[in-house]
Amino acid sequence: MLKLLLNARVFAPEPLGLRHLLIAGGKVVWIGTERPALPAALGASVTDLDGRRLIPGLVDAHVHLTGGGGEAGPETKVPPLPLSRFTRGGVTSVVALLGTDDATRHPRELVTAVQGLRNEGLSAWCWTAGYHIPPVTITGSVRGDIAAIDCIIGAKTAISDHRSSQPSRDELLRLASEAHVGGLMTGKAGLVHLHVGDGARGLAPIREALEGSELPARVFNPTHVNRKKALFDEAIALARQGCHVDITAFPVSEGEDAWPAEVALVRYLDSGAPSERVSVSSDGGGCLPEFDADGRVVRMGVGDPGDLARTLAALLAAGQPPERVLPAFTRNPARLLRLAGKGHIAVGADADLVALDANGGIEDVMANGVWHVTGGRVVARGTFEHAEARA
């Protein structure tokens, strides 16, 4: 049960230099420069990282764990994501959610999927409700869901999108107040995670909500803000007002009016906006539909939790210092979402650790002190993944 990691170049995310780490009970219990002399009777397993970079496990705050989609008919509902889709991408903490389909999918299903992922060794939470207002909840209210259900930390909704409920300012405020008060009652994040669509209103609904209420700016957490270049400028301005903005690591084609996540993050950091108010999420398991002017789907892809690691590798390959870009994948979302013990490497923190290869790719992944990926190979599979491998 005891694991000793030797010669790790630790980015916590701040650079700590070459360190040895001792892991026990799912936690980092010691970090030092001298190799500790452990009694053989303890039977510690030893892994020498040979100076490779060791970073915190990635925190992905936007994942369609039960599968998203369904926007072009029932056959387009995306299947659920198995455990190793996260771990092989270095993701050790996820926040699951519903999207357009909050009619045939339900927060009850999300909560059980979160519990399943926890039983398989990952750390997981969820947002209640989906795109629509009145919100779909388990207890009858967003506040009740946050107060009564351990893994629910806030609510999801959608703005500036033809798939949203076209919420009025007051509807948005009511939802945000429910999340905020639920957060106050529990010490959880208590946020509204807002899917922002392609619509021309952009982030105006959030600005209007802030102007029209006493709610703190941090309660409004817009995502997909890099999907249009003008929207991204709005997001940087909103971050200066106190909102935490979330970039999506979706693929961007040549000439598209969008910023790839790796470009968006550097633009954000270069802008001088508060560096702790930005994160990157994957939209894993979400379908990525492209609509024509009549709102019909013309093309469809599926988001992958591995896009986070690909974005990080692209940033490192472009010469960005790990300590500059890592917080957006680790410490920033963990702090915003109040995920204690997540997003950083320290004595007492959870042992969610990722060792990178020389190219910045994912080589070894530990979640809560257990190896899930070693040498680039998945060693811990989800309940039905063995069956899939045989098929």
Shortest Cβ 333–Zn ion spacing (Å): 15
Closer CB to Zn ion, 92 or 100, in the complex: 100
Q: Please, what is the minimum distance in Å from the beta carbon of residue 62 to Zn ion? A: 6
CB of 89 to Zn ion, least distance (A): 16
Contacts of 256 (CB under 8 A, 6+ apart): none
Q: What angle do CA 182, 186, 192 make, to 5 degrees?
A: 40
Using Cβ positions, the residue closest to Zn ion within the complex turns out to be 286
Q: Residue 7: is it exposed, middle or buried by C-beta count within 10 angstroms (0-12/13-18/19+)?
A: middle
Q: Does 107 bind Zn ion (CB under 5 A)?
A: no
Residue 338: exposure state from Cβ atoms within 10 A (0-12, 13-18, ≥19): middle
Q: Residue 163 or 344: which CB sits closer to Zn ion? A: 163
For the bound state, the minimum distance from the C-beta of residue 156 to Zn ion, rounded and expressed in Å, comes to 9
Residues pairing with 56 in the sheet: 353
Q: Which of 102, 246, 283, 304 is catalytic?
A: 283
Is there a catalytic annotation at residue 50? no
Considering the complex, state which of residue 71 and residue 283 has its C-beta at the smaller distance from Zn ion. 283
Measured from the CB atom, is 235 or 345 closer to Zn ion?
A: 235
The reply to whether 286 sits near Zn ion by the rule CB under 5 A is yes
Q: Is 161 in the site for Zn ion (CB under 5 A)?
A: no
Nearest approach, Cβ of residue 8 and Zn ion (Å): 34
How many residues contact Zn ion, by CB under 5 A?
Answer: 3
Contacts of 163 (CB under 8 A, 6+ apart): 71, 100, 131, 197
Does the footprint of Zn ion cover residue 71 (CB under 5 A)? no
Nearest-angstrom CA–CA distance, 185 and 43:
44
Stretch that binds Zn ion, among 123-131, 155-163, 258-266, 279-287 (CB under 5 A): 279-287
Closest separation between CB of residue 289 and Zn ion, Å?
A: 11
d(C-alpha 355, C-alpha 366), whole Å: 9
Stretch that binds Zn ion, among 133-141, 186-194, 283-291, 310-318 (CB under 5 A): 283-291
Task: Give the footprint of Zn ion on residues 294-323 (CB under 5 A).
Answer: none
**Alpha carbons 103 and 116: distance in angstroms, whole number:** 22
Span interacting with Zn ion, options 213-221, 280-288, 358-366, 373-381, rule CB under 5 A: 280-288
Nearer to Zn ion, 57 or 285 (CB): 285
CB 115 within 8 A of CB 133: no
User: Each residue of 286-298: b (16+ CB within 10 Å) or e?
Assistant: bbbbebeeeeeee
Report the residue number, 163 or 310, with the smaller CB distance to Zn ion: 163
262 CB neighbour count, 10 Å cutoff: 23
Coil, helix or strand for 16? strand
Q: Does 283 bind Zn ion (CB under 5 A)?
A: yes
Show the site string, 320-339: x = touches Zn ion by CB under 5 A, - = not. Answer: --------------------
Query: DSSP state, 216?
Result: -
Number of DSSP helices (H) and strands (E) in the chain, helices first: 11, 19
Mask of contacts with Zn ion, 74-103, x by CB under 5 A? -------------------------x----
Q: Which residues are catalytic?
A: 283
Binding site for Zn ion (CB under 5 A): 99, 283, 286
